[in-house]
Structure 1
């Protein structure tokens, strides 16, 4: 939180006060809340470092003239059932 407040304090000189209809216009010494409210214009002017998205297009698909092979099917391995041990009679 202190880092955010420090950044807002440094950005006071860069932003222009754009109050909401019920807020009074502040000429100098903007509060951190009013600076945060006006930071959208600063961020829009700076822009973004990311690239624009590439057009998707259509994939080329399977090359013509190349034969396809069916995938190898392996038999299903099933776990066998275990037999219950017979109980031996207890000796006296």
Structure 2
């Protein structure tokens, strides 16, 4: 029966390799991340109190 399975093959996908990742491809230029200006929230002034006429 093993010979039949060897001839037919398997429907399963071949296993993926494991271990250390390949990393950067040779010759590829590396760039620094783009820096954007910091956006700060503006300080809102406290609400004005209603004036009481005496």
TM-score normalised by length of structure 2? 0.54
1:84 aligns with 2:35: no
When the two structures are aligned, how many residues end up with a matched partner?
40
**d(CA) in 1 for partners of 2:28 and 2:17?**
28
What is the alpha-carbon root mean square deviation over aligned residues? Answer: 2.1
Largest Rg, 1 or 2: 1
Extract unaligned runs of 5+ from structure 2: 1-14
Distance 1:60 1:74, change over 3 A: same
Distance 1:78 1:71, change over 3 A: same
Quote how far apart the aligned CAs of 1:82 are: 0.8
Quote how far apart the aligned CAs of 1:75 are: 1.2
Greater RCO (Cα-Cα under 8 Å, separation 6 or more): 1
The residue number in structure 2 matching 1:68 is: 30
